[in-house]
Amino acid sequence: MATSHVDPHQRSQDTRRRILEMAVSIREDRTGGSVDHFLALLQDRLPLWLSILHDLSHRIGKGDVADNLLPIARAGINYYMEVQGAALPAFTSPNVTVRFRKAVRDTGLGPRTETGPLAEYLAAEQRLGRVRPGVDPEASARLLIAGCFHRAYIEMFVGPDEGPTIEDSALEIVRELRLEPVPA
């Protein structure tokens, strides 16, 4: 696997720039609205979340795969808890939603931005024999992200006491991916 040697600060700045490009495309006519709030939060939180995902490349072949993924699951749950609350009021207008979809495509900030680094990590660990041969790295990356998103969604709508703690959720998400080879 060719490890990206992009400067993390530069990657964060690039992400912030692309979110500003999105803002031009989807911004409502008035300033200070829910779309502006969502984009400001995204501009602040997304670079850190992507940095955490990209940092997995430094863990290839080190430690335990599940232990390497636990901080990712925790960070993902926290990221989505912060961002989802701002996203909901921003997307009450179908017009804003359509413009957002186009802006995501135009800026390259779609789902692959998140799943890509995670899938690359899993594929590299698979090549080292540290992830089961039959595991699909792309699908596993999507499932981990989906588990984080779902946990955040449940807490946002039902409350923190209606399910496992964030820590227990992170453990469950990683464990149930069943990535590690079965001992012989």
CA gap 18, 103 in Å, rounded: 9
- Mean pLDDT is lowest, of 39-53, 72-86, 88-102, 116-130, for 88-102
CA gap 69, 77 in Å, rounded: 12
Tell me what pLDDT residue 40 has.
83
Kindly state the DSSP code that residue 181 receives in the 8-state scheme: P
Contact 179, 66 (CB under 8 A): yes
Contact 90, 37 (CB under 8 A): yes
Kindly state the DSSP code that residue 129 receives in the 8-state scheme: T
- Does an H or E element contain 24, and which? helix 8-26
Contact 176, 151 (CB under 8 A): no
Q: How far is CA 117 from CA 59, 107, 123, 139, 183, in A?
A: 12, 17, 10, 13, 27
Contact 114, 45 (CB under 8 A): no
User: What pLDDT, in 10s, does the model give residues 3-38?
Assistant: 456 777 787 777 777 766 666 556 555 555 777 788
Model pTM score: 0.82
